[in-house]
A and B are shown apart, each in its own frame.
Chain A
Amino acid sequence: MLLFVIFGSWWLEFAFKIRVLRRPRLLFMAILPVSIVFLAWDAFAIQQEHWTFDSAQILGIFGPLNIPLEEYLFFIIIPIAAVLTLEGVKVVMKRFSR
């Protein structure tokens, strides 16, 4: 079910991809440091039970630090979606300023 959400945001990205992204290395460099920090937070929150996942509704594949695969994907996909949104907004703003 979580995957469903991930695909929900995936779409959005495709819509913007046409206009913008051709710089996977830059994107990777922007996302990696932030994702590492937030995944550390996620690991802590899971360990402390700040939040819990319904085991019947996740894939059940866990990466390092007991973090579900979906969470790893989240911290890749959401930042990409954010950058795409920002770049999309910039394109639209430029059009309006002309």
Chain B
Amino acid sequence: MRLELTYTDITVYALILSVLFDMFITRNSLLATLRFWLSYAIIVPFQLITNWWLTSREIVTYNPVEIIGIRIAGAPIEDLIFGFALILAVMSIWETLLKKYSTTRA
């Protein structure tokens, strides 16, 4: 069964959900913090290196039908959005947990 939901579509949804999650559920608004963007700036080059590695060796192949076609370091631009959404969601929960539990422990 093929669903009409491309990689591009899902990354956009994931990005929106992740941003909304950070703003309204955990209420951390990490996107407004310097620490988030500094961390992201460190992470991105590594993601580009591994993306390039994985795609140039054809370890992972992206279906051209499912992506918009813009590629950075071999991997579709969608992959960067996917990574951004993943990292934002994890960091956002992490910060909430830190606030919740580190005061009692420290």
**Interface residues of A, Cβ cutoff 8 Å to B:** 1-2, 4-5, 8-9, 12, 23, 26-27, 29-31, 33-34, 37-38, 41, 44-45, 48-54, 57-58, 78-79, 81-83, 85-86, 88-90, 93
Contact = CB atoms under 8 A, between A and B. Distances in A.
B59 A50 contact: no
Interface of B: 2-3, 5-7, 10, 14, 34-36, 38-39, 42-43, 46, 49-50, 53-54, 57-63, 66, 83, 86-87, 89-91, 93-95, 97-98, 101
Contact of B59 (A41, A48, A58): A58
- Interface of A: prevailing SS: helix
Given A8-B49, A54-B57, 14 more contacts: A1-B57, A2-B59, A5-B50, A30-B90, A34-B86, A34-B89, A50-B62, A50-B66, A51-B63, A54-B59, A57-B58, A78-B87, A82-B90, A89-B35
